[in-house]
């Protein structure tokens, strides 16, 4: 986990021979995420001789280059607009009864046991089942989806290539099936969605499916796991939520702020010399916004290091800010709220397994912030 203090404005480090800037204050992070001079497609803004000095790490998988997180306007605007036509609030809200059913079914499977690993048995299968059903992807293959996303996100070059190719082959077969026989699912909608004659290209369609699968489950796993751990660590807050389940909305927002599922943003580049908070970031240098640090900034949040499930308003930026604000934020909030309230309702004696708190392991990722396991008893 990146150790950042929101009182520190910048951390300057080195990676692959390059300098990079980690912004830790809320206002600086927010400004950078909304500044069109700081973005993804650096090759459009630097001369060839300067681009040659930047380290490159091509994946060899073209669809990864077309993920929404990796592109800027005008392509970003076009692609997000196309996906928004299929990823509507009405479609998301309609999922509520099914999410509640999945949460109950998962707890039915462990009800007769004395405990479980909350990540493996609950926090992971709930969101991956939801997004798989939403897309129209066979839920029985959910373990394969997670292994592919883990390999692409955290693996070495050979692992990334192998997992990426398996993913592409699998999805191409499914795309052809739905192209011939469309279903009532998001993948069928993405295949046919268009705006003034503009369709998703094959690489754009593949990148969108991958992003929705990754963002649709990996970050929500962390929200559920991190949030539940916070309740264990703050028993007064857990009891308050048990006594008043309507506090779940502000509880989820506080979980996102206090120990959210994303450590930093993905890397961005300064397209030109940019001043953030009175400091000049030179053209071509890497910029990261440390979301966890920004969400503890005492200039913005009263009692920033206190976990308070009644905190309102709560101006956290756990889902980012600007044009790359998380597309799936409404779904993640709904899943987190249902998952945690169902846990507290169904398992009144739920507690952290004895002796494990000091042994909990967190992901080594600089991007994603989540537990590898969370042993619980009930």
At 22, which helix (H) or strand (E)?
strand 18-23
Query: Tell me, what CATH number does 107's domain have?
Result: 1.10.630.10
Name residue, tokens 């890497």.
286
Confidence of residue 90 (pLDDT cuts 50, 70, 90): confident
Instruction: Report, as an integer, the average pLDDT of 334-341.
Output: 98
For 160-164, which contacts have Cβ atoms below 8 Å and span 24 or more sequence positions?
160/59, 160/60, 160/61, 161/59, 161/60, 161/61, 164/59, 164/60, 164/61, 164/63, 164/64
Instruction: Answer yes or no: is 19 within a domain.
Output: no
284: its two tokens = 């071509």
Instruction: Answer yes or no: is 214 within a domain.
Output: yes
Name residue, tokens 């889902």.
319
Task: Give the residue from 334, 336, 343, 375 showing the smallest Cα distance to 357.
Answer: 375
- Calpha distance 14→21 (Å, rounded): 9
Q: Sheet harboring 286-289: ordered strands across?
A: 10-15, 18-23, 286-289, 268-270, 38-39
- The percent of residues in the chain predicted with pLDDT above 90, rounded, is 63
Task: Provide the domain limits for residue 150.
Answer: 60-257+317-377
Instruction: Report, as an integer, the average pLDDT of 151-175.
Output: 87
Instruction: Report, as an integer, the average pLDDT of 126-140.
Output: 91
- Calpha distance 166→153 (Å, rounded): 15
Please count the structural domains in the chain.
1
- Calpha distance 185→168 (Å, rounded): 19
Judged by average pLDDT, the poorest of 172-186, 190-204, 271-285 is: 190-204
250: its two tokens = 């502000």
Q: Is this structure's pTM higher than 0.85?
A: yes
Instruction: Answer yes or no: is 305 within a domain.
Output: no
Judged by average pLDDT, the poorest of 9-23, 289-303, 323-337 is: 9-23
322: its two tokens = 């600007």
Q: Which residues pair with 20 in a beta bridge?
A: 13, 286
Confidence of residue 89 (pLDDT cuts 50, 70, 90): confident
Confidence of residue 152 (pLDDT cuts 50, 70, 90): confident
**What confidence tens digit (pLDDT) does each residue in 321-331 have?**
999 999 889 99
Instruction: Answer yes or no: is 297 within a domain.
Output: no
Is 50 exceeded by the pLDDT of residue 3?
no
Confidence of residue 19 (pLDDT cuts 50, 70, 90): confident
**What confidence tens digit (pLDDT) does each residue in 38-49 have?**
999 998 887 776
- Calpha distance 364→170 (Å, rounded): 28
Instruction: Answer yes or no: is 49 within a domain.
Output: no
Instruction: Answer yes or no: is 188 within a domain.
Output: yes
Name residue, tokens 């082959």.
169
Annotate 246-269 with b (16+ C-beta within 10 A) or e (fewer).
ebbebbbbbbbbbbbbbbbbebbb
DSSP state string for 252-306: HHHHHHHH-SBSBPPPEEESS-EEETTEEEPTT-EEEEBHHHHTT-TTTSSSTTS
Is 90 exceeded by the pLDDT of residue 35?
yes
pLDDT at 1: 44
- Cα 245 versus chain centre, distance: 25
pLDDT at 2: 47
Distances from the Cα of 52 to the Cαs of 28, 48, 151, 372, in angstroms?
29, 6, 28, 38
* Cis ω before 343 (30° cut-off from 0): no
- Calpha distance 32→9 (Å, rounded): 13
Instruction: Answer yes or no: is 193 within a domain.
Output: yes
314: its two tokens = 């709560």
């Amino acid at each position: 986990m990146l150790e950042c203090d929101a009182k520190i404005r910048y951390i300057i480090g080195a990676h692959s021979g390059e300098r990079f800037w980690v912004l830790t204050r809320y206002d600086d992070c927010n400004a950078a995420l909304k500044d069109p001079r700081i973005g993804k497609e650096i090759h459009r803004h630097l001369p060839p001789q300067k681009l040659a000095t930047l380290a490159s790490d091509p994946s060899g998988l073209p669809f990864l280059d077309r993920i929404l997180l990796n592109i800027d306007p005008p392509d970003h605007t076009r692609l997000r607009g196309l996906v928004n036509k299929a990823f509507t609030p009405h479609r998301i809200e309609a999922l509520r009864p099914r999410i509640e059913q999945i949460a109950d079914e998962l707890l039915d499977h462990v009800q007769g046991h004395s405990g479980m690993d909350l990540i493996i048995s609950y926090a992971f299968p709930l969101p991956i089942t939801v997004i798989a059903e939403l897309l129209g992807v066979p839920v029985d293959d959910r373990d394969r989806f997670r292994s592919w996303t883990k390999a692409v996100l955290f693996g070495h070059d050979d692992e990334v290539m192998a997992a990426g190719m398996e993913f592409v082959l699998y999805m191409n077969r499914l795309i052809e099936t739905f192209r011939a026989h469309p279903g009532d699912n998001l993948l069928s909608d993405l295949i046919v969605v268009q705006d003034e004659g503009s369709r998703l290209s094959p690489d754009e369609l593949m990148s969108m499916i991958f992003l929705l699968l990754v963002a649709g489950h990996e970050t929500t796993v962390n929200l559920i796991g991190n949030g539940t751990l916070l309740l264990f660590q703050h028993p007064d807050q857990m009891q308050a939520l048990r006594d008043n389940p309507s506090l779940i909305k502000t509880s989820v927002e506080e979980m996102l702020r206090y120990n959210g599922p994303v450590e930093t943003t993905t890397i961005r580049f300064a397209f030109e010399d940019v001043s953030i908070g009175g400091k000049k970031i030179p053209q071509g240098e890497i910029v990261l916004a440390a979301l966890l640090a920004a969400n503890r900034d005492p200039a913005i949040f009263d009692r920033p290091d206190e976990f308070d499930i009644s905190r309102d308003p709560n101006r956290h930026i756990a889902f980012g800010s600007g044009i790359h604000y998380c597309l799936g934020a409404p779904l993640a909030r709904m899943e987190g709220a249902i998952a945690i309230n169902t846990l507290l309702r169904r398992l009144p004696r739920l507690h952290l397994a004895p002796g494990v708190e000091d042994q909990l392991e967190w992901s080594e990722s600089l991007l994603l912030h989540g537990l590898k396991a969370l042993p619980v008893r009930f």
